[in-house]
């Protein structure tokens, strides 16, 4: 998928560590492997048992920690970190996480992946009580609810607070004494726990981050769980028992790194199966199979294998593309786009190309890619999408909250085919996607949130109900 252009952005990656020397550096490594989940801001809060210290800023992780002293100043054996996506232009340092709260008698740091559906309502109520929010994100509401709670222990306060919020959340909370992990009752976002050889524990949005720090997989966090990690070890508890798995299907389709396992299923392999099933459902009269780099390469190779056609590198992505790239005059704009993605003439010329993309969101680049392939000499371009039509916005943590942004919500398959200039266009079926992922939970859609495709939201949407 054509990253910057697709405008389909995960809102965060989270990472935590307890009980390890160099907690700051481990968190840096862990976040680095989660960078694909958010490129707009990054931060780490470390805890040396006496004090929590934070460093965060806008930009990529390596830009935020541009000087080693920024990282070195974060002392202690535990830490949490966050990488974040935010809408371009909103240069809001306040929203970069982890948030660190300095109470007069204690400190609390928080990192959140997800989106609350009743945050606005809660915020208004809290503001009426005089509460003031430091960020415009929804993540902070939890802390206000904790502080508002009249319960006597911190844990009881957390449980009470968690029971008031709705939507998707994987929370990491860090205090002087413990690292707390909480997952929403549907498990919309993945979180896994790993164990370090030296004895400590790490928590991460994806298992690729466990591998990155050399931790072995310990277990996935389950819906409704409230897990406490401290010097005594891991204590698994839950804040609610009313749970039903509905993990985001787009994590498998697009967001997660291919080397991650989500609930035991390898992402690359799931994508290959999507491609293979797609080939069965919608064969195409092509000579070669080409994937849109990088996210669609797995699905494309699955399609090729299943169809017995050669898998070819018909498109190539420039790995040196970055934000520093100088934008040209309007006249040269098109040439600039070629810098990101280029058609491989020597491969596609004179061929009927089956182009596999993982998904279509706005569709803005599809037309461009098809045209580029044809200019490079492709005789035909048959577009095959390795997921169903994306017709409904997400309110649990993905940056697509307006139906108007989704081309499939407004155009028929045939209309899209004409807009893109492709010779045929087909989408993987819902059933095919569920089968390809292969999750076997005793829940609707085998435990997947398929609302993107069918509008069947697993929860009431509260503040967003009208946007459905």
Residues with active-site annotation = 12
Q: Which of 46, 60, 226, 378 binds a copy of itself (CB under 8 A)?
A: 60
Question: Residue 366: which of 452, 292, 297, 312 has the closest Cα?
Answer: 292
DSSP letter (8 states) at residue 326 = P
Asked whether the beta carbons of 452 and 391 are under 8 A apart, the reply is: yes
| 147 counts as binding a copy of itself under rule CB under 8 A | yes
Residue number with CB closer to a copy of itself (372 or 407): 372
Nearest-approach distance from CB 224 to a copy of itself, in angstroms? 26
| 61 counts as binding a copy of itself under rule CB under 8 A | yes
Question: Residue 431: which of 414, 448, 443 has the closest Cα?
Answer: 448
| 310 counts as binding a copy of itself under rule CB under 8 A | yes
| 430 counts as binding a copy of itself under rule CB under 8 A | no
Q: Residue 407 class from Cβ within 10 Å (0-12 exposed, 13-18 middle, 19+ buried)? A: buried
Q: Give 130's strand partners.
A: none
Binding part of the chain for a copy of itself, among 329-337, 394-402, 430-438, 450-458 by CB under 8 A, reads 329-337
Q: Which of 48, 120, 287, 399 binds a copy of itself (CB under 8 A)?
A: 120
Q: Which residue in the block uniquely carries the two structure tokens 């804040």? A: 239
| 62 counts as binding a copy of itself under rule CB under 8 A | yes
| 25 counts as binding a copy of itself under rule CB under 8 A | yes
Residue number with CB closer to a copy of itself (51 or 468): 51
Residue number with CB closer to a copy of itself (278 or 406): 278
248 three-state secondary structure: strand
Size of the site for a copy of itself (CB under 8 A): 102
Annotated binding residue at 287? no
Q: Which residue in the block uniquely carries the two structure tokens 């969101």? A: 361
Residue number with CB closer to a copy of itself (28 or 395): 28
Annotated binding residue at 295? yes
Residue number with CB closer to a copy of itself (186 or 374): 374
Rounded to whole angstroms, the Cα distance separating 162 from 226 reads 10
| 87 counts as binding a copy of itself under rule CB under 8 A | no
In order, the DSSP letters of 34-89 are: TGGG--SEEEEEEE-SS-EEEEEEES-HHHHT-SHHHHHTS-SSEEEEEEE---TT
Report angle CA 345, 351, 355 to the nearest 5 degrees: 85
Rounded to whole angstroms, the Cα distance separating 53 from 109 reads 9
Annotated binding residue at 231? no
Binding part of the chain for a copy of itself, among 9-17, 120-128, 409-417, 420-428 by CB under 8 A, reads 120-128
| 57 counts as binding a copy of itself under rule CB under 8 A | yes
Binding residues for Mg(2+): 295, 357-358
């Amino acid at each position: 998928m054509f990253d910057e252009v697709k405008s389909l952005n995960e809102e965060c990656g989270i990472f935590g560590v307890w009980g390890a020397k160099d907690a700051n550096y481990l968190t840096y490594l862990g976040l680095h492997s989660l960078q694909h989940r958010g490129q707009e801001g990054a931060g780490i809060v470390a805890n040396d048992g006496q004090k929590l210290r934070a460093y965060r800023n806008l930009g990529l992780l390596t830009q935020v920690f541009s000087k080693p002293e920024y990282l070195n100043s974060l002392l202690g054996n535990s830490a949490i970190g966050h990488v974040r996506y935010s809408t371009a232009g909103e240069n809001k340092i306040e929203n970069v996480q982890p948030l660190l709260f300095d109470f007069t008698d204690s400190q609390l740091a928080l990192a959140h992946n997800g989106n609350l559906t009743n945050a606005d309502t809660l915020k208004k109520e809290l503001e009426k009580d005089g509460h003031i929010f430091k960020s415009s994100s929804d993540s902070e509401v939890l802390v206000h609810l904790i502080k508002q709670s009249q319960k006597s222990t911190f844990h009881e306060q957390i449980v009470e607070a968690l029971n008031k919020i709705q939507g998707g959340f994987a929370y990491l909370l860090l205090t002087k004494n413990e690292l707390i992990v909480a997952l929403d009752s549907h498990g919309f976002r993945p979180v896994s726990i790993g164990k370090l050889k030296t004895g400590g524990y790490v928590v991460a949005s994806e298992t690729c981050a466990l591998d990155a720090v050399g931790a072995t997989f310990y277990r996935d966090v389950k819906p409704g769980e409230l897990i406490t990690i401290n010097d005594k070890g891991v204590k698994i508890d839950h804040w609610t028992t009313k749970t039903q798995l509905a993990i985001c299907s787009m994590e498998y389709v697009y967001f997660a790194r291919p080397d991650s396992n989500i609930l035991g299923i390898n992402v690359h392999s799931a994508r290959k199966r999507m491609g293979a099933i797609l080939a069965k459902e919608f064969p195409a009269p092509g000579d070669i199979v080409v994937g849109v780099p990088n996210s669609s390469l797995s699905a494309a190779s699955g399609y090729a294998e299943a169809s017995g056609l050669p898998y070819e590198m018909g498109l190539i992505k420039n790995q040196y593309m970055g934000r520093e790239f100088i934008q040209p005059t309007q006249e040269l704009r098109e040439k600039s786009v070629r810098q990101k993605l280029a058609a491989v003439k020597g491969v596609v010329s004179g061929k009927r190309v089956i182009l596999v993309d993982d998904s279509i969101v706005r569709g803005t680049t599809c037309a461009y890619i098809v045209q580029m392939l044809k200019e490079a000499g492709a005789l035909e371009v048959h577009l095959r999408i390795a997921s169903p039509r994306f017709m409904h916005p997400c309110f649990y943590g993905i940056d697509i909250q307006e139906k108007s942004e989704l081309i499939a919500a407004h155009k028929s398959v045939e209309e899209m085919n004409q807009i893109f200039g492709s010779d045929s266009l087909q989408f993987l079926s819902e059933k095919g996607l569920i089968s390809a992922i292969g999750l076997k939970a005793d829940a609707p859609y085998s435990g997947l949130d398929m609302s993107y495709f069918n509008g069947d939201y697993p929860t009431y949407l509260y503040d967003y109900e009208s946007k459905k």
